[in-house]
Amino acid sequence: MTPDRRGPAYDDDPVAHFFAEHRAAVREEPATDLTWQRVVHSRRPRRSHHRLRSFLAASAAAAVAVFGVWSWQQHPFGTGGVRPGQQISGSADYAASVASGPSNSTQVPGPVPSSFASWSVSNAGNGTLYDLGSAVCGQQVCPTLLRSADNGSTWRSVHTFAGTDTSQAVGSARPLIQPNRAVTEVRFATPQIGYAFGGALWVTSDGGASFQQVDHPGQAVLGLEVSRNQVMVLSADDCSAGVCRGPIYLSRTTPQAGSAALTTIASADVGTPLRGALLAVQDGVTVVSPIPQKAGTPIPPLVPAPDGNLDTIPSPQGCGTAPLESIALASNVSRLMWGLCAVSSTATTTTYSVLRSTDAGNRWSVAGNRTLTMPRLGRVTLAAADQAHLVATAGGPRSGSATGASSAGALVVSANGGRSFAPPTSAAPVPSSGFDWSASPGSSEFYAVPRTTAGYWWSTDRGRTWKVVDPTS
Amino acid sequence: MVAREDSVETAVRQVYDAHFGRLVGWATPLLSDRDLAHDLATEAFVKLLRHWESVDDPRAWLYTTVANQVRDHWRRRGREAAAYGRWSGGRIDPEPVAPATDHATRLTVRDAVESLPERLRLPVLLHYYADLTVAQVATQLGKSDGAVKRDLFDARKQLAARLEGT
């Protein structure tokens, strides 16, 4: 009771009574040592990651095991959902087997929900495609995985992730960095083995029927890419509300049934809060492109170095002071790397020069001087098939992306190595929010995913023509 | 340096032991999600460890931090619901819908506070529901005592009418 409000009138105040009643009904939850350890671990800076690694390896592995068992007992995924931070954030090798994480039990394939909207597409080879998206489940939205065994002609729903965090996965302000237990992206290494991630990291080895959670360094997984029997995972620490302030970690695993043990091969403290980081992997070449929280403070792309650090790719001469961005690795040509440099912008468009490196980023040359102009509609993604064929997309439902730019020109292609870009010969109308993501899975194919529609855009002729693949139709 | 860190951890651990459990319980009805409440409370303690030197009133600071996060969550959920409504555009699956809460018979704290204009929500949450004094609320929100009292007066008027209605 405090004198400044508890005067005689207090007893007659129905509002005070209402809240006092609810306050009295508050149920105190246990304050456990495990949660305290999470607090302390999350708080500690990890700049001396490598020095601490060996010291912490044993204790972290033990903590992961104990915490995994405890979490499973307290919050089985099927009923209560996984909790953020189940993984011990940290500075240890992630040699823990996936068996320590909770699992999402086997589900039976069913029809595609009519409410399905595509978020992420992955080509698993042999005509098998996976499409992770959202579907209404009860009164909420659940990440739902579809599979096609005939290159996108027909689809079945194979898995629904009930209990994950979708609070920031839909809507116009969707951040690139998702909450710890979110699942928003999918990548498959084979028709059977694949990964669902986006904050959390899950692996399947039975074609999406069941998933098991994988321990990883840091709080949130920012990216995962698969190339030639190698899986690279990008994660970060100290993440909250779509921003990560801690170090980023690059880890590696191999796609094999029954194990997804991650080994951290490099880390870096980029020194500025990030609102995302993109990962490009192809034939043993890996590039990390951090996206700073504040516009106007660009960070150059990073590549893993043998000493466990992430080294920066210096801005090529052709870029002036602008850093390289939108790095893409050609899907059909080893060590061929493409990048963009912003050279000028208006209120609604940005013009880029196109840079090319044939030796995995050591030397660069200008392939197209000011040849690419994109609407300022989120971020620009570059996808490359080979020496000639590029696709650039812009968009994404992002907070702060409302520049008034039209989505016209949000999908353009080049057939001459970046010397010029033009809209495709034929394509469905571009969604008003553009495309969140585009990629070349190899051969002559490209994908572009808007995330705001039921389907995704697909080209099988190196970007010349496109059609919409709608799994709900 | 290490000794100072240890002493901060010891001090915050005492605050943790005293307030963490109740903070989670306090936030749970506001979020309708115990796990999320647990996470927000944990995050508040992570921040408290980092900012311990500049925090004068840990309990008031913790409740204010969590109340801010709760308010942000409400905003996000509002935007999300609006966006999803536009987005799904009538393509809703014919799945069974859980029965809605009977708000007519029991008004929740969340309903009550969300019915208020944005500017009144934090003062009400902190004063009435977290039991902070007007002076504590004023300090935490960077307002004068008078401004907080005015906010509470306005809120009381609006809430009284709503409470009468239930």
Looking at the structure, tell me whether residues A64 and A200 fall in a common domain.
Answer: yes
Nearest to A27 among B25, B39, B42 (CB): B25
In a domain, A55, yes or no: yes
Q: Using CB atoms and an 8 Å cut-off, which of residues 73-102 of chain B contact chain A?
A: 73, 76-77, 79-80, 82-84, 87-88, 91-93, 95-98
Residue A78's pLDDT is 28
Q: Which residues of A touch B92 (CB under 8 A)?
A: 115, 136
In sequence order, the β-bridge partners of residue A121 are A131
Mark yes or no for CB contact B35/A135 under 8 Å.
no
Looking at the structure, tell me whether residues A229 and A340 fall in a common domain.
Answer: no
Closest residue in chain A to residue B31, using alpha carbons only: A167
**Both tokens of residue A261?**
């043990």
Percentage above 90 pLDDT, chain B: 40
Give the pLDDT band (50/70/90) at residue B4: low
pLDDT surpasses 90 at A140: no
| Contact partners, residue A87, CB within 8 Å, separation at least 6 | A64, A215, A216, A217, A219
Looking at the structure, tell me whether residues A341 and A243 fall in a common domain.
Answer: no
Inter-chain contacts counted by CB atoms under 8 A, chains A and B: 139
Higher pLDDT, B93 or A150: A150
- A37 in contact with B, Cβ within 8 Å: no
Distance (Å, whole) CA A394 – CA A383: 12
Q: Which of A51-60, A169-178, A435-444, B3-12 has the lowest mean pLDDT?
A: A51-60
Distance (Å, whole) CA A300 – CA A284: 20
Residue A98's pLDDT is 36
Q: Using CB atoms and an 8 Å cut-off, which of residues 92-131 of chain A contact chain B?
A: 113-115, 117
Percentage above 70 pLDDT, chain A: 82
In a domain, A220, yes or no: yes
**Interval A381-435: pLDDT, tens:** 999 999 999 999 998 755 444 456 677 889 999 999 999 999 998 878 888 888 9
**Both tokens of residue A408?**
């016209």
Residue A99's pLDDT is 34
Mark yes or no for CB contact B93/A167 under 8 Å.
no
Average pLDDT over residues A126-150: 91
Average pLDDT over residues A368-373: 95
Return the top range by mean pLDDT from A18-27, A266-275, A462-471, B99-108: A462-471
Residue A238's pLDDT is 86
Percentage above 70 pLDDT, chain B: 78
Looking at the structure, tell me whether residues A141 and A85 fall in a common domain.
Answer: yes
Give the pLDDT band (50/70/90) at residue A138: confident
Residue A64's pLDDT is 36
pLDDT surpasses 70 at A235: yes
In a domain, A252, yes or no: yes
In a domain, A8, yes or no: no
Residue A221's pLDDT is 94
Q: Which residues of A touch B50 (CB under 8 A)?
A: 43
Phi, psi of A383, deg, nearest 5: -125, 140
Closest residue in chain A to residue B79, using alpha carbons only: A171
Mark yes or no for CB contact B93/A39 under 8 Å.
no
- Which amino acid, residue A75? H
Most A-contacting residue of B12, B23, B24, B57 (CB-CB within 10 A), to test interface? B24
Q: Which of A99-108, A142-151, A409-418 has the lowest mean pLDDT?
A: A99-108
Higher pLDDT, A463 or A308: A463
Per the prediction, chain B carries an average pLDDT of 80
Q: What's the sign of the alpha-carbon dihedral A370, A371, A376, A379?
A: negative
Question: Structurally, how many domains does chain A consist of?
Answer: 2
Mark yes or no for CB contact A15/B92 under 8 Å.
no
Distance from CA of A16 to the nearest CA of B (A): 6
In a domain, A242, yes or no: yes
pLDDT surpasses 90 at B81: no
Go through the domains of chain B in sequence order and give each one's CATH number: 1-86 (no CATH), 107-166 (1.10.10.10)
Looking at the structure, tell me whether residues A200 and A348 fall in a common domain.
Answer: no
| Contact call for residues B145 and A16 (beta carbons, < 8 A) | no
Q: What's the distance, CA A218 to chain centroid?
A: 14
Residue B79's pLDDT is 57
pLDDT surpasses 70 at A298: yes
**Interval B123-165: pLDDT, tens:** 999 999 999 999 999 999 988 999 999 999 999 999 988 887 6
Per the prediction, chain A carries an average pLDDT of 81
Looking at the structure, tell me whether residues A263 and A396 fall in a common domain.
Answer: no
Looking at the structure, tell me whether residues A258 and A329 fall in a common domain.
Answer: no
- A81 in contact with B, Cβ within 8 Å: yes
Residue with tokens 């870029």: A319
DSSP, residue by residue, A363-399: S-EEEEEEEEEEE-SSEEEEEESSSS-EEEEEE---T
Q: Which of A169-183, A216-230, A443-457 has the lowest mean pLDDT?
A: A169-183
Q: Euclidean distance between the first and final Cα of chain A, in Å?
A: 63
Average pLDDT over residues A374-386: 91
| Contact partners, residue A37, CB within 8 Å, separation at least 6 | A63, A88
Please state the length of chain B: 166
**What is the DSSP code (8-state) at residue A291?**
E
| Contact partners, residue A437, CB within 8 Å, separation at least 6 | A120, A381, A393, A396, A447, A448, A449, A451
In a domain, A234, yes or no: yes
| Contact partners, residue A255, CB within 8 Å, separation at least 6 | A189, A190, A193, A194, A226, A229, A231
Mark yes or no for CB contact A15/B155 under 8 Å.
yes
Looking at the structure, tell me whether residues A72 and A162 fall in a common domain.
Answer: yes
Please state the length of chain A: 473
**Coil vs helix vs strand at A185:** strand
CATH number at residue A342: 2.130.10.10
Higher pLDDT, A68 or A282: A282
Residue A102's pLDDT is 60
Q: Which residues of A touch B109 (CB under 8 A)?
A: 19, 22
Distance (Å, whole) CA A278 – CA A256: 24
In sequence order, the β-bridge partners of residue A263 are A252
Average pLDDT over residues A339-348: 90
**What distance separates the 2 farthest-apart alpha carbons in chain A?**
82
Q: Which of A287-296, A341-350, A351-360, B102-111 has the lowest mean pLDDT?
A: B102-111
Distance from CA of B59 to the nearest CA of A (A): 15
Return the top range by mean pLDDT from A165-174, A373-382, B105-114: A373-382
Looking at the structure, tell me whether residues A247 and A114 fall in a common domain.
Answer: yes
| Contact call for residues A279 and A290 (beta carbons, < 8 A) | no
Distance from CA of A381 to the nearest CA of B (A): 23
Closest residue in chain B to residue A175, using alpha carbons only: B76
- A9 in contact with B, Cβ within 8 Å: no
**Coil vs helix vs strand at B53:** helix
Mark yes or no for CB contact A16/B128 under 8 Å.
yes
Distance (Å, whole) CA A342 – CA A329: 19
Range of the domain at A230: 44-267
Looking at the structure, tell me whether residues A318 and A223 fall in a common domain.
Answer: no
Distance from CA of B54 to the nearest CA of A (A): 16
Q: Which of A15, A20, A92 is nearest to A53 (CA)?
A: A92
pLDDT surpasses 70 at A230: yes
Mark yes or no for CB contact A15/B159 under 8 Å.
yes
Looking at the structure, tell me whether residues A251 and A369 fall in a common domain.
Answer: no
Average pLDDT over residues A282-288: 91
**Both tokens of residue B31?**
């979020």
- B111 in contact with A, Cβ within 8 Å: no
| Contact partners, residue A112, CB within 8 Å, separation at least 6 | A146, A155, A156, A157, A471, A472
pLDDT surpasses 60 at A375: yes
Distance (Å, whole) CA B50 – CA B58: 12
Looking at the structure, tell me whether residues A195 and A74 fall in a common domain.
Answer: yes
In a domain, A14, yes or no: no
**Interval A55-78: pLDDT, tens:** 333 344 334 333 333 333 333 222
Mark yes or no for CB contact B93/A5 under 8 Å.
no
pLDDT surpasses 90 at A197: yes
| Contact partners, residue A83, CB within 8 Å, separation at least 6 | A71, A75, A181, B35, B38, B39
- B150 in contact with A, Cβ within 8 Å: no
Residue A283's pLDDT is 85
